[in-house]
Amino acid sequence: MTSPDRARTTVGLVGEYLLLIPVLGSAIWVLAFFIDHHFLPQPFVFDVNDTFMDWFNTAFYANRPGAFDVWHTVYPPLSFVFLRLFSLHSCYEGPFNARDCDWLGTVALMGSYVLDGVVAALVFWRRDRATAIPRSLAFTFGLPLLFALERGNLILVCLIPFMLVYGEMLGSRFSRALAIATTINFKPYLVVPSLALAVRRDWRALELAGLATIALYLVTLMLFGSGTPGEMLDNIRIFSNVVGGQFWEQTYLSTSYSTVLVIKDSPFPILTYTSSASVEIALWLIPLLIVMTQLVALAALVANWLQPRGIPLGRNVALLVGAHLATQSPGGYTLTFLIFMVFLEVGRRPGQMVALVAAYMLSITYDHVLATVIDTDSPSWLSGWSTHVNFGLAVGQFIRPGLVILITWSLAIDSIILSVRAHRKASPSLGMLLARQAKPA
């Protein structure tokens, strides 16, 4: 490494440690706030009595009938098979009672979070030892993963195979296919990052992943006894109708500005907080911004398909995930997938640095409330105290979706630049374009 390269690397590493300071500082602030006020502040969920309930509500229906015809879940059967194994059946007279009774479920939940941090650290260490420490700490103690922990969301479980496969820690085709199948059967929208295999022209791996996904679904469907494709499609339609129009809840910790668009049909008094002109501009600008982000990501993916040599799998995954999260918001905890992929970037090109800065900013566990929406007394399960809570419209609700777009644009432009440079050196032949799998450089 030459002296200028070494100097740039040192400056970049110091910069990452500086970016880590507000991430860890905000996590410590949350802890201090909790000790003082007995509940977790915004941007954690405003129902302070609902901690861990994504896990225990799902576990209730893993141990009792009615998951698909009563609760109308959109989770595939794998979630219920997993939670049936890692829960105490006798505790489930009700989900809230189970939260205090099911020690096995609590251990599995907390163990998943710890394992997420360990696996992330191992992947980052293998990818780039120089940056592994700040990135591991930011990922483990950053907002998206802490938010997933507070919710008890099953992302904590499916994140493990996600990191193993897209962090390229698995050696055999079978293990990679099974890991991809597991992620999709936990969270169906994770079919999106699997399409990175098509961009890389690794058709065999994509075929195996598809077959493994179907096989795992059929096995878990047989074990659980419900969750047919028809039931799941019906529940998705029901879920879409239920969440529509709930402006503040939808924008609370969103990855996409698309959630702002529900204000058109929402009774939320948005004009109390801003002007009608601002609302009209947002309703015109947001669809345009989303479409432009989709197009620039697509252009980068096409460029990477034309010149796949030297383009890592993780870059294509990041572009697909970024475009998906910019288009719609599956939940704030899904930012873990995007941040993980950005933290796999090795290099100091401008596009990479912009994406890294944005990823660290997304990891900050703090929000500044602009206007109060909820101001009430509520019991806090986590502390066991009765508390007075305040939540509302906050700065982060309008910044985070912009950071997702910024990450997508910066990595897309970097990919296009790399592809243009590679094209000048060696234009791909027809045989190369039709190759079954691109050979690595």
Q: Read off the pLDDT of each residue in 323-330 and give the average, rounded to a whole number.
A: 95
Percent over 90 (pLDDT), the chain: 75
Question: Residue 44 is part of which domain span?
Answer: 17-433
Asked whether residue 439 is assigned to any structural domain, the reply reads no
Instruction: Assess whether pLDDT exceeds 90 at residue 9.
Output: no
Residue-wise pLDDT tens digits, 26-62: 999 999 999 999 999 999 999 999 999 999 999 999 9
What's the half-sphere exposure (Cβ side, CA atoms, 13 Å) at 286? Answer: 20
DSSP label at residue 262? G
Instruction: Assess whether pLDDT exceeds 80 at residue 405.
Output: yes
Asked whether residue 438 is assigned to any structural domain, the reply reads no
From the CB of residue 376, how many other CB atoms can be counted at a distance below 10 Å?
10
Asked whether residue 66 is assigned to any structural domain, the reply reads yes
Residue 7: which pLDDT band, with cuts at 50, 70 and 90? very low
318 and 192 Cβ atoms separated by less than 8 Å = no
- Give the count of domains, the chain: 1
- The pLDDT score that the predictor gives to residue 279 is 79
Asked whether residue 441 is assigned to any structural domain, the reply reads no
Nearest CA-CA partner of 255 in 165, 192, 180: 192
Residue type, 351: G
Asked whether residue 213 is assigned to any structural domain, the reply reads yes
Residue-wise pLDDT tens digits, 107-155: 999 999 999 999 999 999 999 999 999 999 999 999 999 999 999 999 9
DSSP label at residue 273? T
180 and 165 Cβ atoms separated by less than 8 Å = yes
Asked whether residue 211 is assigned to any structural domain, the reply reads yes
Q: Tell me the helix, strand and coil percentages in the chain, rounded to 5.
A: 70, 5, 25
Comparison of pLDDT for 106 and 1, the residue scoring more? 106
Rounded CA separation 74/79 (Å):
10
Asked whether residue 173 is assigned to any structural domain, the reply reads yes
Asked whether residue 188 is assigned to any structural domain, the reply reads yes
